[in-house]
Amino acid sequence: MRPIAPEALTGRVAGFVAHLRLNDFALGPAESAAALALFGDIDGCDPREVRLGLKSLLAGRREEWERFDDLFEAYWQGRGCIRRRPDTPATDSRSRPPPGPWRNHLAPPPAGGSERVHPPGAHGPDDGEARGRGRVVASPRSSLARTDLRHLADPAELAEAERLAARLARAMRHRISRRYRNAPRAPRLDLRRTVRRNLGRGGEPVDLVRRRRRDRPVRVVVLLDVSGSMEQYSRFFLQFVKGLTDTWAESDAFLFHTRLVRITDALRDHDPVRAMSRLALLAQGFGGGTRIAESVRFFNTRYAKAALDSRSVVMILSDGYDTGDASAMSREMQRLRRRARRVVWLNPLLGWRGYEPVARAMAAALPFVDCFAPAHTLEALAAIEGELARL
Amino acid sequence: MEDGGAARPHGLTDGDGSTPGGTLKVEALKSRLASVGYIADDALAMALHLALRLGRPLLVEGEAGVGKTEVAKAFATATGARLIRLQCYEGLDAAAAIYEWNYQRQLLAIKAREDDEGADETEERIFSERYLLRRPLLEAITQDEAPVLLIDEIDRADEEFEAYLLEVLSDFQVSVPELGTIRAKSVPHVILTANRTRDLSDALRRRCLYAWVEFPDPERELAILRARVPGAGERLASQVVRFIDALRREDLEKKPGIAETLDWVAALLDLEVESLAGDPGAIRASLVCLLKTESDRAAITPEVLTRITDRAAA
């Protein structure tokens, strides 16, 4: 095994960090340097060792940990530090097109910056379909094929939805802050402050200072149905959910149709256009059937423990048309209800004259719902403000 | 001091990385952990190795019962370091985690010497190290030899505390207004564990190395069983790990962890079960060691149990 020229390695490692960053890893320049420094502490010629070492350094959460091996393979496979082609001068690595599998992972380079490292025009004719294994990455070809969430409805309405969401969030917050004031006298003495306050009395504790634990605000978790039957509403609700997650720090949002995906991070993306295209990718299968029970089950097993505590409000935005089993629905709703403080179900169909929640899944879910309200128009949403404040 | 608590990041030119020792060191760490009864998988061993070499904190996440806390204990034992543990909980504050003045003692000292001492001397005296209660974080940075600092279930602590912890972890110093800044004599090896009850901040994650610990595969679990319950027969042990593996694939609310497996084997030994094929009644009865909620017990019906048992015993 031949030693690798340092510049080649530097370029490759920096490229790998950029590759991970494009795949939503939260990495800064410090991580690039650390990744490079890592090669001094491990056997740089053992791919397994390099993979495990970089994984421990660069992955920071479970989702990243699980995706890392695939991304690592895509980047280094076939052209890693071991099998570098001898005929290529080492310093050339910056100007060469990226290796085959990687092209599939590349979004068109955002203006400036990364362009030097991986030039555009590198899309090979055959690499995409052959190697791609359906990873969630931005690529121009695939996003066009999906529903374009950018042209939802007219902008004024969307802005209104966001404003409304912010107002609802505030309504709930008001309720929380009132609860502080009514809290009973704190049972614990604050000795530090007591001593300070009484220094003037020679340390005799005359005035007692008490302390109480600060209450954490309510968490809001939104599960948004984006299946076919909800198509007219889900785009608008998405904006509503965005407003909610923007205003409310302790919130989490999920999309579901036949499966459930977490969209909180995508919604909080500062660049609205990128946020929408990320959402479009997450919502693959948008407009298909619904499996509510299955989605709630997935939420319960995978996310509920992290997303919910005894102060959480779960808000489900769905019409309750489910193709699944009603008994599963009631079982999962019961599990959900047990974990959360309140479950709110907003159903756009409820606003229709003569609508009865007869859909089997809806009927099965109702016993476990604290607040069942219509949500077919902005007015209807605004009307539940008071309801939410009471939760 | 261990081999590299103070290792500094290497310069950018140090790219040859062809030292053949790399793998050996990870393997050596692995076997040292094994010698104290902890069977680590490759990824975790690498993460620990790097934590040791780079002197960075290691964040270990995983389902309840995969042995996250045990990692720190075994790591401390294997490296011969002292283990200092900080258990996090909601409302944990600096006074409970870093330091607190011993107020009662200070008050007593003031009372006792009220008449024959000036205010300045009194102040001098009662704000000295004698009256300082060291909590785990301060304790950990004032050791002569680098200890292992286990910060358990960091996700249970509040976000404010997490931010403060971040500061301590990057500077390894604590400032006490009355005493001045206390700098670390040695940089502790920090292991944080989290259970995903709350999402941790990106800043903390970036500061740490990371390892996600899965439930062990049957092979590793067998090694764990051999190390921890040497009394279990080879046949029973291999049946048990297959059984547990199958059970974890069922749709359970609370999947049995390693501790549950060990409990169960101990129970089976106590019931004198030598093979899972032999005694369905005893197995059914001993399931209390594995299934800890009512709905999980209901989910494993006798039919499911028979299916899993038969496959495990085959």
Model confidence pLDDT, tens digit, residues B157-214: 888 888 888 888 888 888 888 888 888 888 899 999 998 777 788 888 888 999 999 8
Amino acid making up residue B196 = R
- Give the list of residues 6+ apart from residue A6 with CB closer than 8 angstroms, or none: B12, B13, B14, B15, B16
- Choose between B126 and A274: higher pLDDT: B126
Q: What is the pLDDT of residue A386?
A: 66
Does the beta-carbon distance from B103 to A34 stay under 8 Å? no
Model confidence pLDDT, tens digit, residues B251-306: 888 889 998 999 999 999 988 888 888 778 888 888 888 998 888 888 888 888 88
Does the beta-carbon distance from B18 to A216 stay under 8 Å? no
Q: Which residue's entry shows tokens 């594995």?
A: B290
A271/B30 Cα distance (integer angstroms): 45
The answer to whether residue B13 scores a pLDDT higher than 60 is no
The answer to whether residue B121 scores a pLDDT higher than 90 is no
Q: What is the pLDDT of residue A132?
A: 35
B26 in Cβ contact with B32 (< 8 Å): no
- Give the list of residues 6+ apart from residue B78 with CB closer than 8 angstroms, or none: B29, B32, B33, B35, B36, B38
B239/B309 Cα distance (integer angstroms): 8
Does the beta-carbon distance from A49 to B7 stay under 8 Å? no
The answer to whether residue B128 scores a pLDDT higher than 50 is yes
Instruction: For residue A26, list chain B residues with Cβ-Cβ distance below 8 A.
Output: 202, 205-206
Res. B6 pLDDT band, cuts 50 70 90: very low
Q: What is the pLDDT of residue B252?
A: 84
A172/A388 Cα distance (integer angstroms): 6
Q: What is the pLDDT of residue A379?
A: 66
- State which residue of chain B sits closest to A212, comparing Cα positions: B91
Taking CA atoms, A132 is separated from A101, A284, A286, in Å, by 8, 16, 21
Q: What is the pLDDT of residue B83?
A: 95
Structure tokens at A351: 């606003």
Average pLDDT over residues B108-133: 83
Q: What is the pLDDT of residue A229?
A: 73
Its pTM stands at 0.63
Does the beta-carbon distance from B197 to A61 stay under 8 Å? no
Does the beta-carbon distance from A192 to B95 stay under 8 Å? yes
Taking CA atoms, A261 is separated from A42, A199, A290, A298, A299, in Å, by 36, 57, 13, 9, 9
Best A41, A46, A300, A301 member to test B by mutation, with max B CBs in 10 Å, is: A41
Structure tokens at A172: 């709930």
Distance from CA of A241 to the nearest CA of B (A): 20
Buried b (16+ CB within 10 A) or exposed e, A221-258: bbbbbbbebbeebbbbbbbbbbbbbebbebbbbbbbbe
Average pLDDT over residues B59-71: 90
Does the beta-carbon distance from B15 to A41 stay under 8 Å? no
The 3-state DSSP class for residue B251 equals: coil
Average pLDDT over residues B103-112: 86
Q: Which residue's entry shows tokens 């358990």?
A: B152
Residue B209's H or E segment, with its range, is strand B209-213
The 3-state DSSP class for residue A347 equals: strand
Does the beta-carbon distance from B21 to A43 stay under 8 Å? yes
Distance from CA of B109 to the nearest CA of A (A): 11
Instruction: For residue A40, list chain B residues with Cβ-Cβ distance below 8 A.
Output: 9-10, 14, 17
Q: pLDDT tens digits, chain A, 391 residues: what are they?
A: 445 557 788 888 888 998 888 887 878 888 888 888 888 888 778 888 889 999 999 998 888 888 898 888 888 875 443 333 333 333 333 333 333 333 333 333 333 333 333 333 334 333 333 333 333 333 333 322 233 333 444 566 667 666 766 666 666 555 444 443 333 356 667 777 777 777 777 767 777 777 665 555 677 888 988 877 776 677 677 777 877 777 776 788 898 887 788 888 887 777 667 777 777 766 665 556 678 888 898 898 888 888 887 778 888 988 888 767 788 888 889 889 888 888 888 887 776 666 676 677 788 888 888 888 877 666 666 666 666 666 5
Distance from CA of A336 to the nearest CA of B (A): 12
Q: What is the pLDDT of residue B73?
A: 93
Q: What is the pLDDT of residue A255?
A: 86
Structure tokens at A50: 């390099």
Instruction: For residue B18, list chain A residues with Cβ-Cβ distance below 8 A.
Output: 1, 3, 43-45
Model confidence pLDDT, tens digit, residues B155-169: 888 888 888 888 888
Res. B61 pLDDT band, cuts 50 70 90: very high
Distance of CA B67 to the CA centre of its chain: 7
**Nearest by Cα to B201 from B260, B257, B159, B143:** B159
Closest partner residue to A191 among B91, B103, B206, by Cβ?
A: B103
Angle between helix axes B258-270 and B218-228 (nearest 10 degrees) is 60
A338 in Cβ contact with A312 (< 8 Å): no
The 3-state DSSP class for residue B262 equals: helix
Residues pairing with A313 in the sheet: A220, A342
The 3-state DSSP class for residue B15 equals: coil
**CA B27-A37-B173 angle, 5° bins:** 90
